[in-house]
Amino acid sequence: MSKNIKNIIYKTLSKAWATLLEINYDYRFKDGTWKRVSRESYDRGHGTGILLYNIEKGTIILTNQFRMPIYHTNKDEAMSIEVCAGAIDDNDLPESTIIREVEEEVGYKVRDVKKVIETYMSPGALTEKMYLYVAPYSEDMKVSEGGGLASEHEEIEVMEIPFTRALEMIESGEIRDAKTIILLQYAQINNLIKH
């Protein structure tokens, strides 16, 4: 690939919450011609997400929270139903990040998480790679009501729902978040929960 790209110039457009770059470069196309290309890239680090499931009850844990980028484009869909997720801090491991996020957001203390996939959610614009996990949960793991951290301006509704209902919510459009759909479909394909 390095033979097909040269003369890369980075320009920082913003370093507010994350880093927005304009990247200009020369790219050689399949026909051999070189063209100057300009793209914007948003770097907010990498993230984690997890589907918590209870085999005995046939339930899962999801969150519901306000998402400003969705509100900006579609006010009626601004509340987003998602798996528990969070950004990876500078030197943290994805596994320790998701274990911490589960306790903060949904109030469960999980130990054993299984990574199922690493994926770029929107590679045309975002540098973020998501590390996606699954883990069983039970009532004896519950340590708080969850809801997120006030210091991070989080207000998260914790939802425990039947797995079958969650699958219906994909079909109805109530769940539109890609990481959540990926993990629910992983659970369905791999028969994690009897339904």
- Across the chain, how many H-helices and E-strands are there? 4, 10
* Integer Cα distance of 160 and 163 in angstroms: 9
Question: Which residues, at least 6 apart from 77, have a Cβ–Cβ distance to it below 8 Å?
Answer: 70, 176
Residue 82 annotated as part of some ligand binding site? no
Cβ–Cβ under 8 Å, residues 160 and 107:
no
Residue 103 annotated as part of some ligand binding site? no
Question: Which residues, at least 6 apart from 47, have a Cβ–Cβ distance to it below 8 Å?
Answer: 85, 86, 87, 88, 128, 129, 130, 131
Q: Can you give the C-alpha Rg of the chain in angstroms? A: 19
* Integer Cα distance of 114 and 102 in angstroms: 14
Residue 105 annotated as part of some ligand binding site? yes
Cβ–Cβ under 8 Å, residues 42 and 127:
yes
Residue 187 annotated as part of some ligand binding site? no
CA angle 163, 166, 172 (to 5 degrees): 150
- Known binding-site positions for Mg(2+): 85, 101, 105, 154
- Known binding-site positions: 85, 101, 105, 154
